Chains A and B, each alone.
Chain A
């Protein structure tokens, strides 16, 4: 079954689908990136369990197709795709030209390489599409049980129709979007896993309507005759509205009853459901979309190079054409140029001669454009990312069993040129592994740990922090890193205010949406929570003696120990009456519960600001002290939540509950109404205290950042956190230190606050803008002053979101850019996802630098898509960022490997490949060009047709690919040891016009050597019996020299030469000889030339001389360059010249990434295809699931980045998805 969801990673990104909104209403619209489509008017009516009744509507079938082509469209569509490339079009044009009589060459010269290139590309396309097709077939043919004649019949998925009643067993996948009718669990509940949608492995709850609980057996289910009225198919994953009409009763439906295709059933024996949406109309399929493809900057520069080649081609042809018009003359009687001569040779029409010769020469010199370049580069990049990046053990994270993943192969070399990194904080720099660290209860701080940030701060100010030894009894488990003997082991009862402590712990144990899993014992239980914060809080309660062990839809069971007396354990059941969910506007979560003794309490936890607004009057001391504690926690880099409670009287509660139920059942604006109702009861709260959770830095982050900044990469942190937290994290990460000059532009100044308090929006905007302008100006002046002094301090800029909003204004943007580009690190705090994207594109477009964005959450999606390269952390916060990214890595620290090793190598290799291609084709074509001067500019070809056409695709094709794959200037560990080497990529030193110019000079030199040496030396009798050579003997000689030289030249550009280099270079030269030995037997004009040539001593003397002379220039150039103007990498090579190659052991000896055999083993397992299916089961890419499931349970759902990003691009009000 699981095989059905297997998909090859690489194909996923290529899925391009135009998904029509609905079958009937608006077929032409396509689903754009993550935007929730406006819902079509009308609704669909589904008659459950009644195929005849549904028949007239013609719902779509359940088979899906993700293929790009079918049997008939493959050739036309595939070819069309190929000819969208300019190079292919050009060669098509040349091929057509070469069919005409004006061509000097056989059409085969141009047709053969073109067809070969097209063939390779088409085979690749066909192969990928075939794999997609096979996947579709597997999925479409997976079995599912359908109710037919009161029996469960097994049919393939594709046979499923809307309205069918089906049964899905435990661990099975849902074949379509289903309406949950009944499950084997009591209370109609089932658990689903959504790993295929968002990568989250925690379970989500779905609950059937009470009315349908009975339809579990086939006999009962056959009686079910409901009618579902619901919305039209749409791509919004977390909304669903509809009604079930059953026996004239209308029951509202919500996403709680919807089981989405692609999820799987867990912890439930089986469920019965009715099919609502099928096949392409399921919500997941409607979310699949085209990932906008990015092209690397190097490739864009390559286009310029190709254009230059076009230019020189045209120039060469023009020279030849004009000269041919002048040359042509009837006096050359042997050319038979009498009256009947065709236009191309007619001396009476010199203009015509020139014009036609122009075309002749274009076909003749067409080899100047390297046709196989694009195919070769594509091949190289493909192998680079699938074999090197994806399989690098240094980027394999054993704990989470994830390897790096290159989701696109277009950007490999771009990784070697990154100058700016934009990083998210939470989950990227920090672990997002939340640990309960400190708390403040009733005005008293508990917890004696010291955070890394505090330690870093202490070190900065020179205080030596004594490591506080934890008491031996300290408990440290996942989510809990707290030690204070005043609270642990029931000691809290001796604290001054044990009742507040009790409320505190109860609040932690009750007010949450965590699911317990596993054994109901404190050691074995695991908590399933959407946010790690929640799990940490519940774990904390457990360790304080309030063990939450069971949840039913209406009850929460807590095993309270030490309640009254030591050692006494008491199981208490709290009835959960209402859950007021967490969302980004409310920033709080409340639970109304009833104690066994009837006490009604509302427990609330949330952000300090929202809780403080809702506190009851009085007790100002506590508030003040707690606020102080909150600030203290904040500056230690901890995340804080305030806890509060309120005792409710039954009357108040009952009257409120009525309103609540009303709001909950409303069909329109349900979310808004719920919020309003919640406001009514969440007031007059009594503050209990606050919690502080440590968000630990990821492993190796400071080291990695230090390495990257030594590599000349500037790192900007863009975070939604508070300024203090952000600055602290920046300090902890080595981004900012005390030697730096810091510029802080904050909106939290007294002046701004004062204006804000007056409340006039226009005035506030104007004032802040003025302030920001003033700040920017002074900062810029200071910055310039600092830069002008020789050993001035490095600069750092900290700016908050509000100021950034004004600084990004077109009038201030230039100033902001100037300032920030001069800073070595920039921290933007309190920024929205949209601003993250704006800052990224500010640098990308404004400064024209290569940018990389790295993030892990949904709020980073817009930033990831805005940058040149988007990197997603395939971590714990779901897969949205990964889905939008170009590369996915498991840890921030792998960025060093990705950029400094893979990126740098790719950049070097691709540069070499491109320049070498350029060189070899130019050299070859130039020999032809020089020959033109000696043929009366007639456009006679120098080489035989097949020599010319196979030159690119056979005789010089393979070795350059070897360079593209294997060339290494310095080893991986040295790349990281000398991060400065990376600067060569940032400055783009290997693909400058100067480099290309150097190559061009040597091309000219070599081609002159080839042409002149071979022709001059070939004059006169050439063997001991005085026989002379003809044209084809000379050209074969020259071609032999060219092939040998060009292949040997390749060895000279290699920094490391493997056996495969020798094999490919030797093989290419050998291929030429084998070819000519065979070919010259069959072909008339070159008949026997090679045998004739090889029968002379001349051949051997020349073949030794010409390649060596041709390469001598390059050799001396390389020697002199290395001697007097060495590149950095060359110095590093020299430093470590005598060290043994690190390829065997030394490479793995690096401390941070060393792998044990066990880890290698699990890595190997991770590489198995079976395991790949885990997160890749779905044929769609969307950042859109985020906390769909979380939202169901009232868990914090971050703001949707794409909505914000889209809003910027479409300039219209977004349709915010409803959370229920």
Chain B
């Protein structure tokens, strides 16, 4: 029973027959049972509140400034083209325009560069009111098939676009079926700007989620054609626009990367964009935007974080000043027994 009861001097008074594992363990157990474990007891005094808020402000405002600076350093040109690219005669019925295959879909937009934009310049398309996060949409894919192709033939999760004419579709599912298929070409002056469409998806997706030897099969062969077509000779792992598209967005308004211009754009450059306005957002009233943007260490232009930091930081400082004023003008004596409820009321009830 007595393991090492005599290890410390205090143990000698203890009973020898109590099982003891070690002095420390025993001390812990006894403190535990007597509920007297060493503890720190934070007391949130006004001084603490004011100091914490002040500190918060002084930490947050610089971070906010840096973040905001990074975000502001990003130049962005946004051009909404879905409405303007519809010919006059179809203005009243945009849906019939997009569905009418005989109408040419090409459209030209002119973008003006206001400031020098340093390469690489990223091209995004932005869709609004497009529910890529709809439950039916999100689950209509087969990750196994994307990785293994026809070798994986359980495509039940891809409903309603799992097979066509009795043959499975690769890549199956609504997401792939509704692939975005507007295309853009950029011309500065007379020369076409080269758009690099490689390396736009996350590396992990390219390497591990989409098979290197999986080729599109039986894709967009059905009665209804959703969106873009895929080159059946290029494996899915190299079809980066598909990979980008299939990383479904979190919100119904989202940007997806299209490509990259690897030349600097000078201020006052005029860029002519020839685009094929193929994708149907007209039936549900979605917007399409073209975004040209540089990038910072923090990513694209998004003032939110910086503003939030600065806002929170400055509110913290203001609050701390208000509290400080209150504290100085009208301090509450700490630990004053007069504040105890039974003293406040005169007679305890």
Contacts and interface: CB of A to CB of B under 8 A. Distances in A.
Interface of A: 104, 329, 331-338, 340-341, 345, 360, 387-388, 391-393, 710, 712, 790-791, 905, 934-936, 938-941, 966, 968, 972, 978, 980, 983, 1013, 1015-1031, 1033-1035, 1054-1060, 1084-1085, 1087-1088, 1091-1092, 1096-1098, 1101-1102, 1104-1105, 1108-1109, 1112, 1115-1116, 1118-1119, 1122-1124, 1126, 1128, 1130-1137, 1141-1144, 1147, 1157, 1160-1161, 1164-1165, 1167-1168
Given A1098-B298, A1134-B43, A1161-B13, A1035 B250 contact: yes
Nearest to B49: A1119
B212 interface: no
A182 B202 CA distance: 94
Contacts of B298: 1097-1098, 1101
B136 A938 contact: yes
Residue of B41, B49, B309 with most partner-chain A CB within 10 A: B41
A1013 B311 CA distance: 13
Interface in B250-286: 250-257, 260, 280, 283-285
A1059 B38 contact: yes
Contacts of A1013: 304, 308
A332 B284 contact: yes
Given A336-B174, A1016-B304, A1026 B44 contact: no
B130 A1058 contact: no
A341 B160 contact: yes
A1122 B312 contact: no
B239 interface: no
B296 A1024 contact: yes
B302 A1123 contact: no
Given A393-B34, A1118-B44, A1123-B46, A336 B160 contact: yes
B83 interface: no
Contacts of A1019: 251, 253-255, 302
B233 interface: no
Interface string B104-139: 000000000000000010101000001111111110
A972 B33 CA distance: 13
Given A332-B131, A1031-B248, A1128 B341 contact: yes
A760 B134 CA distance: 87
Given A1057-B40, A1115-B52, A1131-B337, A1021 B252 contact: no
Nearest to A794: B347
Interface stretch (B14-22, B182-190, B213-221): B14-22
B250 A1030 contact: yes
Contact of A1026 (B43, B138, B295, B341): B295
9 contacts: A104-B135, A934-B250, A938-B136, A940-B135, A1026-B260, A1057-B42, A1098-B305, A1160-B14, A1164-B14
6 smallest CB-CB distances across A and B, nearest first, come from A1143-B36, A1030-B247, A1021-B300, A1020-B300, A1026-B122, A1084-B143
A1028 B332 contact: no
A1116 to B, nearest CB: 7
B140 A1022 contact: no
B148 to A, nearest CB: 12
B33 A388 contact: yes
A616 B202 CA distance: 113
B293 A1021 contact: yes
B195 interface: no
A376 B161 CA distance: 46
Interface of B: 13-15, 17-18, 31-46, 48-49, 52-53, 56, 60, 63, 67, 120, 122, 124, 130-138, 140, 143-144, 160-161, 174, 177-178, 199-202, 204-205, 208-209, 224, 226-227, 244, 247-257, 260, 280, 283-285, 293, 295-302, 304-305, 308-309, 312, 316, 319, 323, 332, 334-337, 339-342, 347-348
A1089 to B, nearest CB: 9
Contact of B33 (A391, A905, A1102, A1165): A391
A779 to B, nearest CB: 21
Contacts of A1028: 124, 244, 247, 249, 254-257
B134 A938 contact: yes
Nearest to A324: B135
A1109 B312 CA distance: 7
A1088 B202 contact: yes
Contacts of A1015: 250-251
B264 to A, nearest CB: 16
A887 to B, nearest CB: 17
A1133 B337 CA distance: 11
Nearest to B144: A1084
B229 to A, nearest CB: 15
B295 A1024 contact: yes
B299 A1024 contact: yes
B309 to A, nearest CB: 6
Contact of A392 (B34, B48, B254, B285): B34
Contacts of B63: 1101, 1104
Contacts of B209: 1084, 1087
Given A331-B283, A332-B131, 9 more contacts: A333-B283, A1019-B255, A1029-B247, A1030-B249, A1116-B319, A1119-B44, A1126-B339, A1132-B340, A1161-B15
Contacts of B300: 1020-1022, 1026
B287 to A, nearest CB: 14
A1016 B300 CA distance: 13
A1127 B95 CA distance: 65
Nearest to B201: A1027
Nearest to B298: A1097
Given A1056-B41, A1164-B18, A983 B134 contact: no
A332 B286 CA distance: 10
Contacts of A1142: 36
Given A332-B131, A934-B133, A1101-B63, A1147 B34 contact: yes
A104 B137 CA distance: 12
Contacts of A1123: 46, 49, 332
B250 A340 contact: no
Nearest to A1106: B308
Given A331-B284, A1013-B308, A1135-B337, A791 B347 contact: yes
A1200 B223 CA distance: 90
Contacts of A1024: 295-297, 299
A627 B39 CA distance: 64
Contacts of A1128: 340-342
B2 to A, nearest CB: 13
Nearest to B295: A1026
B151 to A, nearest CB: 16
Contact of A1088 (B49, B204, B257): B204
A959 to B, nearest CB: 14
Given A1017-B304, A1021-B299, A1030-B250, A1108 B56 contact: yes
Given A936-B131, A1128-B340, A345 B136 contact: yes
Nearest to A1125: B339
Contact of A1087 (B52, B56, B204, B227): B204
Contacts of A972: 35
A1168 B298 CA distance: 64
B177 A336 contact: yes
A430 B8 CA distance: 43
Given A1031-B133, A1031-B248, A1057-B40, A1143 B335 contact: no
A1020 B299 contact: yes
A337 B201 CA distance: 29
A1020 B255 contact: yes
Nearest to A902: B35
A968 B255 contact: no
A1026 B133 contact: no
A1109 B60 CA distance: 11
A1091 B207 CA distance: 14
A336 B208 contact: no
Contacts of B340: 978, 980, 1128, 1131-1132
Contacts of A1118: 44
